[in-house]
Structure 1
């Protein structure tokens, strides 16, 4: 297992997502989550804020999306994340990959995320501007997680191997693939591909099977080379997530052998 370059410990990192409709709510959640043991990285999902900004535009009560008011609100809220001293991964999840952000607004939103200078940003591999966004983050000194999500099914072993290889060659610092399993064979397919990718590529990889069937990957994918898992403190961001306390307990047991 290759550790995340922006996580403080050389362990399978526990990343806790934070979703909120306002920056102030996100800031309050970040402060609350930071008091929990075992949390290595905060993931601030800002795509719900993109929706709020768009709604405000339509109502005619805010400046143009991407303007100084929205950027200032984002920066003010990020200040609370920075004060926790826990590394923050800022993510814009598009509607195409299970999130809230309209695809046509995705690039602007990721550019705003990079401007915050967090520890890392997520860049979806499937977006047209992914290569440019990865380069922009690199120039800003921000680490990148290139991601791909298969919400309908689990690709074949060969398809996953190819996807990991293509994403690992993208210039990103971390590669993340999440799939939806329909059988335990699908879960094993994901774990096998993650194990092979962790050995074949220089960058850390994250492999996740979503939903109830994939819960085991939230707990023990680190044993198969996955550099991180996503867990909850409060509301989660994806089906099958477990609490940070549960994941930390299992992680400590596995690490003790």
Structure 2
């Protein structure tokens, strides 16, 4: 067999800062080479070729056709390492193929030196995965280029328990992977926190590189917070995304600089009408930057020992606004915090003065339609519970909007942005003002 000799010396060292990988997903040679040229301009650390997108249905020797295209892709990428990934439909990919054909494609690609890393779906095939490694042992002595196996596991419908996720990663290493990968779908914030916890703890035990992520919009923050997860690679989107929750490469790189270390002068107070995402954004900001996050309403609930709706019902709004002011004063005794304020907090001059004396006020804005869609099923909004309608929301927003606009130092519209993108826009504005500074950046 004539083996393809690797001409470029590629750096496949995964130590140090997390490497950013961008996918190419063309259906034919023309699309793939065009995407490869575009991706090179983005200067990723690694490129992933999603081979399952390639139309090979009419190719009798599909593995050799893959090899011919791989050579051309490698010529374009030059010294950028390449991941070969054939993602099966069962794990979120484009095609269902037999295990024997899947194995044949991978072994052939490795023999030809088509890539530097090879993604192997481990956990669902664990009863037969030894066959692949036995085949590789037989051909290893003839292979002229070094390669590494990424053992991947995907759960698009759930986040397994902490113990299950740990066992999956540990077993992936035991089955023979050089790099252990786990991607899960969260249903709530607790699922995202579980993934981060598992990543942090398991990395210490494995002593091999890991790639972990929580998928979708809810889990997108894990693609940025690699300082916490310890992921050696994070996947970003170039012209297209290959998985739910992928972030554009330029945005993910900038957010990762904040995650690696930044400082905050004073506090950041988030204000805005209910439903604009103040709590969600403040928590995501805290995860990205490491700054402490404080929710004023949660602070009051803990101190009073009852829900906000109960305080309104038992003592009235005037009493609530009084303890809200006291809470803001107490919170602002500390610095370098992200403070999530209740919707009515800045209606009082005293609260605005305290917040401005100790930092900046950032206003989150949204259309009444966006707000209504977010809060229509809520039962914990005291100001709305008597009239949960779009018309009532519009009326309240018209009353409050001039005040919000007049007291804010900066404004971020959240209508078209997910939580990570909103944080990116906000942090960019704060950095321009010199309020947030990237360390060594």
Name the SS for the 1:231 alignment partner.
Answer: strand
Name the SS for the 1:131 alignment partner.
Answer: helix
Name the SS for the 2:224 alignment partner.
Answer: helix
Instruction: Sort the Cα spacing of 1:239 and 1:71 in 2 relative to 1 into closer, same or farther, 3 A.
Output: closer
Offset, 1:81: 4.5
> Aligned ranges for residues 237-252 of structure 1 at < 5 Å?
237-252=242-257
Q: Which residue of 2 aligns with 1:78?
A: 73
Name the SS for the 2:208 alignment partner.
Answer: coil
Stretches of structure 2 lacking an aligned partner (at least 5 in a row): 1-10, 263-441
Offset, 1:197: 1.1
1:210 pairs with 201, 210, 215, which one? 215
Q: Does 1:120 align with 2:117?
A: yes
Instruction: Sort the Cα spacing of 1:65 and 1:207 in 2 relative to 1 into closer, same or farther, 3 A.
Output: same
Matched residues in 2 for 1:197 and 1:19: separation? 31
Instruction: Sort the Cα spacing of 1:81 and 1:135 in 2 relative to 1 into closer, same or farther, 3 A.
Output: farther
Instruction: Sort the Cα spacing of 1:208 and 1:134 in 2 relative to 1 into closer, same or farther, 3 A.
Output: farther
Stretches of structure 1 lacking an aligned partner (at least 5 in a row): 57-61
Name the SS for the 1:17 alignment partner.
Answer: strand
Offset, 1:71: 4.4
> Aligned ranges for residues 33-182 of structure 1 at < 5 Å?
33-37=39-43, 39-49=44-54, 52-54=55-57, 56=58, 62=59, 64-66=60-62, 68=64, 70-71=65-66, 73-83=68-78, 85-104=79-98, 105-117=101-113, 118-125=115-122, 126-127=124-125, 129-134=128-133, 136=135, 139=140, 140=143, 141-182=146-187
CA RMSD of aligned residues (A): 2.1
Q: Normalising to structure 1: TM-score of the pair?
A: 0.86
How many residue pairs get aligned? The number is: 241
Offset, 1:189: 0.8
Matched residues in 1 for 2:134 and 2:51: separation? 21
Q: Would the aligned equivalents of 2:227 and 2:260 in 1 still touch at CA under 8 Å?
A: no
Name the SS for the 2:93 alignment partner.
Answer: coil
1:30 pairs with 25, 36, 45, which one? 36
> Aligned ranges for residues 190-209 of structure 1 at < 5 Å?
190-209=195-214
Q: Does 1:21 align with 2:15?
A: no
Matched residues in 1 for 2:12 and 2:206: separation? 18
Offset, 1:24: 2.8
Instruction: Sort the Cα spacing of 1:256 and 1:73 in 2 relative to 1 into closer, same or farther, 3 A.
Output: same
Q: Would the aligned equivalents of 1:137 and 1:143 in 2 still touch at CA under 8 Å?
A: no
Q: Which residue of 1 aligns with 2:343?
A: none
Per-residue deviation, residues 225-255 of structure 1 (Å, max 9, x unmatched): 1212100111010011001111110122233
Name the SS for the 1:212 alignment partner.
Answer: helix
Per-residue deviation, residues 55-96 of structure 1 (Å, max 9, x unmatched): x2xxxxx4x14365x24533443333442x100011110111
Q: Would the aligned equivalents of 1:91 and 1:113 in 2 still touch at CA under 8 Å?
A: no
Q: Highest CA radius of gyration, 1 or 2?
A: 2
Matched residues in 1 for 2:243 and 2:175: separation? 25
Matched residues in 2 for 1:123 and 1:67: separation? 16
Q: Would the aligned equivalents of 1:18 and 1:43 in 2 still touch at CA under 8 Å?
A: yes
Q: Would the aligned equivalents of 2:182 and 2:212 in 1 still touch at CA under 8 Å?
A: yes
Instruction: Sort the Cα spacing of 1:30 and 1:16 in 2 relative to 1 into closer, same or farther, 3 A.
Output: same
Flag the structure with more relative contact order, 1 or 2, with Cα contacts below 8 A and sequence separation at least 6: 1
Matched residues in 1 for 2:20 and 2:228: separation? 14
Instruction: Sort the Cα spacing of 1:234 and 1:195 in 2 relative to 1 into closer, same or farther, 3 A.
Output: same
Per-residue deviation, residues 38-64 of structure 1 (Å, max 9, x unmatched): x11000111111xx211x2xxxxx4x1
Offset, 1:164: 1.0
Offset, 1:224: 2.3
Matched residues in 2 for 1:14 and 1:218: separation? 10
Aligned structure 1 segments of 4 or more residues deviating by more than 6 angstroms: none
Q: Would the aligned equivalents of 1:208 and 1:221 in 2 still touch at CA under 8 Å?
A: no
